[in-house]
Every structure is written in structure tokens, then in C-alpha cells.
Chains A and B, each alone.
Chain A
């Protein structure tokens, strides 16, 4: 029986080379299928990005599919990378759970002729051609830090409540913030007490926010660069009666944090998420059709968003982020 099964499997594998071998990356003549692979299936952020991508898809054609893992781990994402490759997509657009761990799988995808771009959360640079970033990393970091500075009067302890420990984008911003704290004399009196992780879960975010406040009695502000974390932290503080005593700032969907922006207890730095999806789709199709390569200086027109130029390291910036105030709150659909 064992023998039988092993012979069967061996037969399948041996015939492999006949069915498909490593493909070179060719230039497509027409729009291809783009596979979006967000970090997590339950995050509405990626649903909204998808609507932007769908808008782009209607304009320029091609096919769009989106799959996402149920766990925010690299292992789970790798399963889907492989699945997308098997489905013979032209481009994978991935928001990485773990920059390094997904790299081997992405490289394998490239060997199979699939192009790779990342959006929102980067992967190892050697594993992708383009990284579509919502805003320049250090610009976002600086805005968050500045926001914290403004809220606390420039002095005191603050904490950072991030997403998952491996998330590339958050980690990049945290590194920028730490670097800025060390180098810029303006922020000399601001101290980072701890980095905690909300694991993209409402429950954990609330508990961590409270825990930070309890563990550091002199905490003045919390920076929450995670979409679900900022509203969660705000709710937790409100329930504990600490609204306003500990200030909040970070990155979050404007609609979810609107109540706290209106009452001034939180600040938010945000961007047009649907545009991010739109731009990613446009970039993906442009890459597949060899209109751009991901080299610095490459230019292309991304539909209604206008002309874009690729920056250093294959990075494509959507645009500057905005500070959400009660005045411009209505602009943000998400």
C-alpha cells in the first residue's frame, strides 16, 4: 500500500518537468490577472483598497482576484502566494506579514514567470520589483512623532502600540521614529517607554492600551500606527475615563476614529486608501506590460491619479499623507 502510494506520487513528480518548467518573465501584450494578497482577511482596510483596484480594473481591463490568510503570519501568506502562482496570475500584489519570511516564496514565484509588487507593507527588496507606499515612510513617521510632540507639549513619556511584531510597514515607521528621537534635538525631551503589539485584534489592542497606561503612570501619549488599534485604544481609554489624559495619535481609517477627532482627544494621519488600491493595480498592469521596470526614474501614467515616477529602491509613493481634522473629516470616505 505504501509502495503503491509512493509510486503514484513519484509518477506525478517525475512527470513534472513535462508539464511546466521555470518560465522567464515575459512582457504581456494585454492586461493580465492581478492577485492581491493582503495581510489579513478581516481587515477592512484591504477591502477598501480593493474597491480602488476594482475601479482601476474597470478602466483598464484585466482581472482582479484577492485572497487573504486568516492568520497574520508569513506561513499563512506563503500558502496563498503559491496558490496565486498556480492560478497563473500575471502579477502578485502583496502586503507583507513578514518581510523576510515570504521572500523565498516570492522568489520562487518570480522563477515561475510571475511578477511581484508590494503595497502598504513591503517585503524584502530583492523579492519584488516595486513597492507602492501610501506615503513616504519617514514622512509618516515624522508626522506621527510631530503629532505626539504637539499633543504632549514636547515633554514626557510616550508609547507605541503597533500591529504584529513582524509587520514590515509598522516596523519601518518605528525605526524611523526611534532614529528621529535619537538624532533630532527638537525631540530631546520626548522619551519612548515601550513598544507593544495589538496583533490586529480589538481585544488585544484595548488590553494593551490599558496595560501601557497602567504600567507607565507618567505616560502622556500613545502612537498607534495600526488601523484597528487607534479606535480600539480610544475606546479603551474612554471606558477607563482617561480620554484626554493620555493623548492618542497614529494612522487609522478616518471614519472609525471620527468621534475622537471631533472631540479632540485623538489625532489621525491618513490617506486615501481606495487610491492606494487604484495605484497598485495600475502599477501592476504597467509592470506586467513592461511599461515600467521598477528602476528609479521610471515614469508612467496611473489613470486618473496622473503621472508617477518611481523613486529609489523601487518605491512608488502615493502622495503625502494628511492630518485629519474636524474640518476635512468629510473628505475621507474611509
Chain B
């Protein structure tokens, strides 16, 4: 089945896109069962449903992120297969994702246009057109920021607007909006709705996934309701009432019986007073008594988990108090909270609760390792004694304590998690979505156990998005919405409708974070430019005192020598930067330089008629070949770059050694023209410097003005996001390594020309200087960030320091120590700057 390239223009009879009898299953869990619906031209279809109903699965199927297990996506009535998001995009579908895959290191304009950049006739990015179009679409969504601003500096709501702008810029036939208003203020929502109106008039088919009833009923023409992975119904918005919609969302037979319980009159175990957590300004007050189950309801992102994490010591609250048994406490780590008798069953089972490589027993005993050991030796029998009862109580179905946890079903895994926490004998137990993704029978078992614990006097906080569970288990229910407590119900008062309404109903007066923080932004951009200033300052700090002691630092001989060294280092460091921005590293760069140097020198000594061009060609070929090998091992072989290039480092160096067999190519064995290539001066500037400058300019073009270059940054900045918009990551990484190899090859040729005697030991150990130059120059090890200017200055700084120290007769062996110090200073300052920027950003949210 192929993607239809040319879709039929106007046939009102067939829907531009839809799902047909789609089933989607993920290794055991069925997210969508036999769902069908379609979108219509010039119409908005709203998709409603609780958490876990299957809405985002629908979105991802239409977006090409997932492929249906059964059934198909249909475009204009015909089945198509989207192998990747790129296919969907080509078919004319634009998606506003709920968790946008944006690239914090790229500019707003680049984020908008990545993957479909406007190009000029030369194939380079048409910056003017891009910025003009970006401005236009930013105006449409109402974001007042310059298109060249780095995305990472924006607030969450602003980033959401960029995501919206991105989808709009695609000028698609189909627009899918997944919770686009979640982070927006009222004013921004109004803007969006105006855009939707406009698109409606232009015949774009739209789907809107959301939670806020007011918005849904305003914007939708038809409303589809999903429940538990199935389509309950699709009705015109005009004929659907809010109550009925909610009923369709949640109205199920409460087939589960929840244990009967009495209200507790025991003292308060945990109290939150005016607690303000990260990401919100609202003060929360709540309390739980011993023997009581407090349910916390609300939508995903309403702040429930944030409160749990503040109680458990993972995050620090911004203000307010936490009191345990009436006494204020301050937790600096989960360990502190555990010692105060608090246990937290996280909602993210695989990410935060279990070590997937461990066995059942090891996972269950993770919290009580000290108790399970005697004199430091871990005694599995003791661990079994401690957790065995809990596991039995949970009726865990398992083959043995050594069984790998991966083999258990989700439900049984959760039982292990809960046992792990019960083993700590807590007095306060926080359960965050404890039965998410678990089968019905296990759910009942867990519920029974929770009730039992409460009866025994444990204070329990139950965070749940499943209304029946929340209502069935809780003695009291608190509802949060967007960080604020909007309602509190007793068991008797609560109903599903009331809870859902409290979780979704929109207040009349929304205080959005509208005010721009232009002042802070320019402060940050100043800080980012600090790196370049810092390096220039460092160089000045070395050059000026040295010049006073020995003015020959400015002599033409010295400057020539230093500039030639800098040129050589810059070429190699540039290659390293290309690799590092994609979140990889190349330890073999010096070995490639050596191999290329020897290859070109020995070829020229054997065939001098090849001349300079021939020598360069040989070196480039060697470099490209080595780069391809590196890239293949990393992308195709799936071996991490640090390991792969550690291996190829030895391979290339060893191959060089075997090839050379002790031979040295000396100066008179190669044509003089070859040796002159680097030293020859044009207007007083050595040729090697000119060559390097040319390479730098070309690289600048590549990195800044071609879509390819921007995609390299994107790959490192957010690999998952790059996948979501269909950037061919493997090919880009392969390109980065190949280019790095080519540059190392060129560096090798230049080296052989400059330092006439070439043997197998050329550039031994040089890789560390190269990486140091990149790191000092501001290229981040985590990928996505780095500037050419920074790398150039980094290389310059290192060599200027070396030159300065030499000229004041400092022992050259001391230089290593200084280099090490410079590297540590550079990354230390980096960390400080990033931390301060992150703090500032958090405060501004």
C-alpha cells in the first residue's frame, strides 16, 4: 500500500481523512477497539473522553506516529499507510501535539519551518522569506516575540503557541489539534479560535481534542465521545447537551463493588498549609487523617503529581508548609520523607518505580535493602521474610522470586511496586494512579487491599483519573484544576458529574500569564553571548601580561606560527562540533588525522606527479572512508558513539602503524609544492589559515543556511521531537560523522604539509585537545548547541594560552595542567549559567 501522492481535489462525498475500524494494541493492552470516524471539510470534530479513553492514540494514528494493528487510516476514501510522520505531513496533515516536540536550541522560525523550510534558488534557506512568513503566522497566533529568539527562552504557553504556528505554517488540508489550549491564556485561546474560523471558511478539515466543555461546545460542529477505547457516539454539537456529553464520557455501569468503609475520626496525619508548588501560583490546603482515604481528582497536568512529589521530598515547594502529625517538616530527599513514614507509589511505573532488569524480589526489596541485609551482606531470605507477606497479601501471581520483573503483567508489576512500599511500613501512603493500565480483577484486589490498609489506620492519598475508583474508594475528594483546588466533596456528596465539572469547568475570569517578559529575555541573550566574550576576555588576560614580559608575542613570526596551529586545530574541532551537536562524540579524530597524513605523504612520495591536488584527494578519501565507518557502526550497528569511536581509534591507529611499518616520510621525499601548501603566504597570511577560513565560511553556510544543517542541531536538541516530525535521524548522524571524517582528513593533509616528517605517530593524543577546544568553545556534550564562532574562539583560547605560557618560559609540560583547569572552568561556568537560566525561567512561569 502506498501513500497517495495526489489526492483528489474537491469531492465532498469522500472525507479527507478518517479512521476505519481501527484497532490499536500495545503489547497486551488494547488502546483502541474497532474505532471509526471521519473528519469533514470545513468542519471541526471535537474528540471527548476521559484520561486513557484513547484520544491521543487516535491523534498519533492520524499523525503517522503509530500504525494501526488492524484497520486503516483512510484518505479520501482509500486506505493508506503512514510509515512515519513525514508521510502524514506529505499527505497534507498537520498536527498540533499535546507535548510538542520542539527544539529549545533552535530559533522560533526554525522550529516552525523545520522540515519544510523555504529555500532560495541556490538551495539555501531563504532567511528573509522564512522570517517574514514566521512573523505572519506568529501574528496570527498572537505571539509577540522576534522570530529569531531561541525557543528555549520562551515560557510554556509561548512554546505552545509556536507549536500551533508550526501546524498552521504547513497550510494543510487536515488540521489535528491535541489539547492546544492547555497552557494558553484566555486571550490566546480567542486568537486560536479566530484562526479556526478562518480555516473553516477555507475548507480545512479539523479535529479538536480537549477537556474544557466551554471551548468544545463553542468550536465544534460535531462531537465524538470515546470511552475505554471505543467510540460511544458522534453527534452534532447543536443537539448535544453538556450533561449528556459527560454522561457519554463516564456513564458506565459501576460493575465494580467497592469496599464499604466508615469515616475516620482519628487525628490528622498529614496537612498541607498554603502549599505552593512549582509551576503554579495557587496555594493548596488539604489534610488527611489516619485511617482516611483522601481522593485527589483532576485532569492530567492539574498539579496532583506535583503535590505528591512535594510531599515526598522529590521537589521543594515554593512556599507553604507540610506538617506530619502536626509538626512542620522539610524534606530534602525521598529518603527524608521515607524516614518520616511517607511512601509514594509513583504513576510512572516503568520510569520511576521499577528497575526493569531486576527480579521480583530485588524490586520489592529496593526500599528496605538495609533491613534485608546483615552486616552489609544482602540476604535474600531476609528480604523474602520482609516482603513475602506483602506479596502474598497482594495475591501476586509469579513463578518465583527470581523471575525477571519484565515478564509480569502490568497488574502484577504494580502489585510488586505496592509491596515494595508497604514493606517500609509507612504511616502515610500516597498512591498516584495505582490501577492505571491494570486488568479488572487485579484492580479489585488492589482496592480491597487499600481499604484494608486504611482500616488499619494508614492515612492514604489516592490520586486517580478514574472517576468510579475515586468515588468508590475515597472518604473525601479534593479536585484540582490547573494547580488550584476547585472543590472538596465528602463521600456522600460526590458524583461523577460534579467531579468532572470541577475538573474542567472554566472560571469566568482567567488570569493568564499575558505580560511579556521582554526585559528578562534580553538579559538571557546577553548571558548566552557571554561565552564568546568570556573567551576573548580569557585570551586578553593571557596576552596582555605576557606582552609586557615578552613583547615578541606580537612578532610576525610568532603570530604566523600560532595562527597556523590554530587553523589546524580549528579544522579538526569543527568536525568534532558537527558530531557533538547530534549528541555523539568522535574519539577517533586524531587517528583519522594521522592516517590521512600518512596516506597522503606516502602516496606523494611514491607518486610525486599527483601533486598537491592528488595528495589532498587521498587525504580526503581516507577521511571520508573513516567517517563512513564510524557513522555506520553508530547508526547501523547501534553501538553508542563513545564506544564505537574508542574502538575505531585503536583500529585506525593500528592500521596506520601496520601500513607504515616504522617508515617515516621525510621532507625531501615529497614535492616541495606540497610542503609549501601550508606555509605559502598570500598577503602575509599563511595559506593554511586561508584554507581554514574558507572551510569555516562553508561550514557556516551549511550549518546556518541549509535545512540539513538545522536538522543536525535538531537531532541533538530533541531526538524524540525530531522523530515526531520525521527527520531522518540516522542519515543525519551518518552525515555528521562523514563530514567529521572529511575534515579530519583535510586536517591530516594540512598536518603532513606543515610538519614535513610523517610517521604512524602523527597526532597521537590530539583527540583530547580537539574535544577540549570544542567544549571550551561552548559545544554542549548533551547535543543541540554550539556555534562556529565559539569553536573557533575555543581553539584560539587554548593555543593562545599555550603560546603565552611558552613565551614566559613556563615549562611546556605544565601546560597540561592549565588546559585541564581551563576545561573545568569552562564547564563549571556553563553549569552555573544554565542553572541560573533555568531558575529564572521557572519563576517566570
Contact = CB atoms under 8 A, between A and B. Distances in A.
A211 B807 CA distance: 7
B668 A259 contact: yes
A42 B660 contact: yes
Interface in A7-43: 41-43
B806 A214 contact: yes
Contacts of B679: 239
A187 B693 CA distance: 49
A231 B667 CA distance: 9
B557 A256 contact: no
B558 interface: yes
Contacts of A231: 666-667, 757
Nearest to A241: B557
Contact of A201 (B657, B761, B809): B761
A211 B806 contact: yes
B662 A47 contact: yes
Nearest to A43: B664
Contacts of B758: 202
A70 interface: yes
A203 B766 CA distance: 11
A42 B555 contact: no
B565 A228 contact: no
Contacts of B566: none
B755 A215 contact: no
Interface in B753-787: 755-764
A213 B550 CA distance: 12
Contacts of A286: none
Contacts of B561: 207, 210, 236, 239-240
Nearest to B763: A203
B836 interface: no
B557 to A, nearest CB: 4
B761 A70 contact: yes
A42 B760 contact: yes
Contact of B664 (A44, A213, A216, A239): A44
29 contacts: A41-B760, A42-B663, A42-B760, A46-B662, A70-B657, A70-B761, A197-B812, A202-B755, A202-B757, A202-B758, A202-B762, A203-B751, A203-B762, A207-B561, A208-B812, A210-B557, A210-B558, A211-B807, A213-B557, A214-B550, A214-B557, A214-B807, A215-B808, A231-B757, A232-B757, A235-B756, A240-B561, A256-B667, A258-B668
Interface of A: 41-44, 46-47, 68, 70, 194, 196-197, 201-203, 206-208, 210-211, 213-217, 228, 231-232, 235-236, 239-242, 255-256, 258-259
From B757, B759, B807, B809, residue with most partner A Cβ within 10 Å? B757
B395 interface: no
A42 B662 contact: yes
Nearest to B759: A42
A215 B667 CA distance: 27
A228 to B, nearest CB: 6
B203 to A, nearest CB: 68
For chain B, the bracket of interface size reads 20 to 34
A85 B148 CA distance: 69
Nearest to A256: B666
Nearest to A46: B662
B79 interface: no
B664 A42 contact: yes
A202 B807 CA distance: 20
Nearest to A239: B679
B596 to A, nearest CB: 15
Nearest to B552: A214
A247 B553 CA distance: 21
Given A70-B657, A259-B668, A207 B565 contact: yes
B165 to A, nearest CB: 52
Contacts of A217: 550, 552
A196 B806 CA distance: 11
Given A47-B663, A201-B764, A259-B668, 6 more contacts: A43-B662, A213-B557, A214-B550, A215-B806, A239-B679, A240-B557
A240 B561 CA distance: 8
Contacts of B667: 231, 235, 256
A51 to B, nearest CB: 12
Contacts of B761: 42, 70, 201
Contacts of A44: 662-664, 666
Contacts of A236: 561
B756 A215 contact: no
A43 B756 CA distance: 14
Contacts of A214: 550, 552-553, 555, 557-558, 806-807
A255 B662 CA distance: 18
Contacts of B663: 42, 44, 47
A76 to B, nearest CB: 12
A242 B552 CA distance: 14
B560 interface: yes
Interface in B331-390: none
Contacts of B657: 41, 70
Nearest to A206: B755
B755 A203 contact: yes
Interface string B778-811: 0000000000000000000000000000111100
A235 B675 CA distance: 10
A239 B391 CA distance: 79
A231 to B, nearest CB: 7
A206 B562 CA distance: 12
A215 B550 contact: yes
Most buried by B among A68, A216, A239: A239
A215 B808 CA distance: 6
